[in-house]
Amino acid sequence: MILKRKLGQGLEVSEIGLGCMGMSFGYGEVHDVKPMSELIHKAIDLGITFFDTAEVYGPYINEELVGQALKPFKNKIVIATKFGFDIKDGKSVGLNSRPEQIRKVAEASLKRLQVDAIDLFYQHRVDPQVPIEDVAGTIKDLIKEGKVKHFGLSEAGVEIIRRAHTVQPVTALQSEYSMFWREPEEKILPVLEELGIGFVPFSPLGKGFLTGKIDTSTSFGQNDFRATVPRFSEENLKKNMKLVDLVKQFALQKNCEPSQIALAWILAQKPWIVPIPGTTKINRLIENAGASNVSLLPDDLQKINQALSNIEIVGERYAPASQKMINR
């Protein structure tokens, strides 16, 4: 059974969400609407109430898919979407979080999602050309107008989080976090705990790496963004397989799947962390949801963390162009 958790400002969601990006964007294939709608409906059957999308996924088609699939359930679920990019001729051409752009995106997202208000509206990436106070102030106004319910940030650093939070309380930060990428533990998580902000890790399975389904012979298609990720290069993949071996070892001990160990580990870190693994396969969805039933005791966590500390992850998590958009 999937339990509920509360993000900042009292937003209640299932403790495991569903990242919908890969249904339409990023992994080399745009999946048909019907099977993806069925997958989303299966997620609801499993107790998942938290769904993540963005205007730039596609662009636009992922929001349309999510909006149509969730239309019959809109009073029972939480949809998060994002603003922050300029999109021209169907492609992202750079960052844009100017107030007028935020408002434009909000109106368009409301229509595509077929909702009266956006439950959680993230700034997708920090725009260095626009003061975060202006961004937060715009969201504050949209909340007053009833068009947005909660404000979120994505891949923001400590200073930006603090400055935004003073203007409009931040409900959640969405950033990458997993056994494969633990940087947020150093500075980000302490600030979120101090300010009462929830944390929504994307890629909690290390972009599929922690499922154990990727090995040294795996190759990624031209349209699969992992083909450009340094830590998935042939040389680095071989070195990073030590982590997969470790996760498989603990999964055997707990009689569960590697992905379930990876998600249970995240859930055990803090009660205000809600991972959003993505998938396009029903069996993987069921597997991910099952992580809620995997209990890691303090002794288990100590052993896992000790083992993790002895493994060095090799390679950056993004190609250089994407890496530049990360605010720290």
292-311 pLDDT per residue, tens? 999 999 999 999 999 999 99
**Quick check: helix, strand or coil at residue 49?**
coil
| pLDDT category of residue 59 using cuts at 50, 70 and 90 | very high
- Looking at residues 170-184, what average pLDDT do you find? 98
Dist. CA 310–CA 302, nearest whole Å: 13
Q: Domain limits of the chain?
A: 4-206+270-293
Q: Tokens standing for 263?
A: 């998600």
pLDDT of residue 324: 84
Dist. CA 108–CA 113, nearest whole Å: 9
| pLDDT category of residue 204 using cuts at 50, 70 and 90 | very high
Residue range 26-41, pLDDT digits in tens: 998 899 999 999 999 9
Q: Closest Cα partner for 201 from 170, 177, 171? A: 177
Q: Does domain 4-206+270-293 have CATH number 3.20.20.100?
A: yes
Q: Tokens standing for 228?
A: 């450009």
- Looking at residues 5-12, what average pLDDT do you find? 98
Question: Is it the case that residue 131 has pLDDT exceeding 90?
Answer: yes
Element (H, E) at 313: none
Question: Is it the case that residue 319 has pLDDT exceeding 90?
Answer: no
- Contact between 306 and 136 under an 8 Å Cβ cutoff? The reply is no
57 is catalytic: yes
Across 232-256, b (16+ Cβ under 10 Å) vs e yields: beeebbebbeebbebbeebbeeeeb
- Looking at residues 50-57, what average pLDDT do you find? 98
- Looking at residues 91-106, what average pLDDT do you find? 97
| pLDDT category of residue 167 using cuts at 50, 70 and 90 | very high
Provide the whole-model pTM: 0.97
Evaluate the omega torsion of the peptide bond into residue 230 and state whether it is cis, within 30 degrees of 0: no
pLDDT of residue 219: 86
Count of alpha carbons within 13 Å of 169, Cβ hemisphere only? 13
pLDDT of residue 322: 87
Q: Active-site residue among 27, 57, 122, 177? A: 57
Dist. CA 316–CA 226, nearest whole Å: 11
Residue range 216-236, pLDDT digits in tens: 889 898 889 999 999 999 999
Q: Tokens standing for 221?
A: 């298609």
Lowest mean pLDDT among 52-56, 90-94, 268-272: 90-94
Across 131-157, b (16+ Cβ under 10 Å) vs e yields: ebeebbbbbeebbeeebbbbbbbbbbb
DSSP string, 234-297: HHHHHHHHHHHHHHHHHHHHHTS-HHHHHHHHHHTT-TTB----B-S-HHHHHHHHGGGG----
Question: Is it the case that residue 149 has pLDDT exceeding 90?
Answer: yes
Question: Is it the case that residue 318 has pLDDT exceeding 90?
Answer: no
Alpha-carbon distance values, 209 to 15, 173, 212 (Å):
21, 23, 6
- Looking at residues 131-149, what average pLDDT do you find? 98
pLDDT of residue 222: 82
DSSP assigned state of 2: P
What letter represents residue 124's amino acid? H
| pLDDT category of residue 200 using cuts at 50, 70 and 90 | very high
Q: Closest Cα partner for 126 from 170, 83, 189? A: 83
pLDDT of residue 44: 98
Residue range 264-273, pLDDT digits in tens: 999 999 999 9
Question: Is it the case that residue 248 has pLDDT exceeding 90?
Answer: yes
Mean model confidence pLDDT for the chain: 96
pLDDT of residue 10: 97
Residue range 100-124, pLDDT digits in tens: 999 999 999 999 999 999 999 999 9
